[in-house]
Amino acid sequence: MHIPITVISERNRVFRQRVDVDGLEALYADVPPIVGGDGSAPDPHDYFDIALGTCKAITVQMYAKRKAWPLEGVTVTVQRDDSQEKKGVYKLTVVLALHGIDDPAQRARLEEISHRCPIQRLMTVSTVEIATLLV
C-alpha cells in the first residue's frame, strides 16, 4: 500500500485545493472561472491527462535507457476532447516527440512501448474500484 495523498480545501479560496503527496512540494488544483473557481491551478481533468503524458514519457525513457539507445529527451503533448464526456466518451490525443532517436525501428518500438505505460493500462483496461469513507 502507498502513502495516502491528502487533499485539503484552502479556506481563503472558493474551490482551490492543496494536494500533499508524501512530503513533496505541495501541488494545487482548482477549477476554471467559468465554473466558479479562480483558475489558479490545473483542474482535476488536467491532472488525469498529466498522469498519462508523464507516464508515457517516463516509460519511454526507461526503456531507451535500458537498451542504451541515444534518446536525449521526450516531449509529450496531450490534447483533450471532453465534448462527449457526459455520454461516457473522453478522448485524449497524444503526440510523442522523441529527441535524439532517428532510427525508424527504434522510434516505432518506443511508440509501441509508450502504449504499455501503467497509467494508460489503468485508463483503458483496468477495473478501478473506489471506496469513499466518511469520517
CA angle 125, 28, 53 (to 5 degrees): 35
- Give me 131's grid cell: 471506496
Is the predicted pLDDT of residue 109 greater than 90, yes or no? yes
- Taking the model in full, what pTM does it have? 0.92
Q: For residues 21 and 38, give the distance between their C-alpha atoms in angstroms, rounded to a whole number.
A: 23
Q: For residues 103 and 31, give the distance between their C-alpha atoms in angstroms, rounded to a whole number.
A: 42
CA angle 98, 50, 109 (to 5 degrees): 30
- CA proximity to 34, closest of 7, 52, 15: 15
pLDDT at 91: 97
Q: What is the pLDDT of residues 10-60, one digit of tens each?
A: 877 789 999 999 888 889 999 999 999 999 999 999 999 999 999 999 999
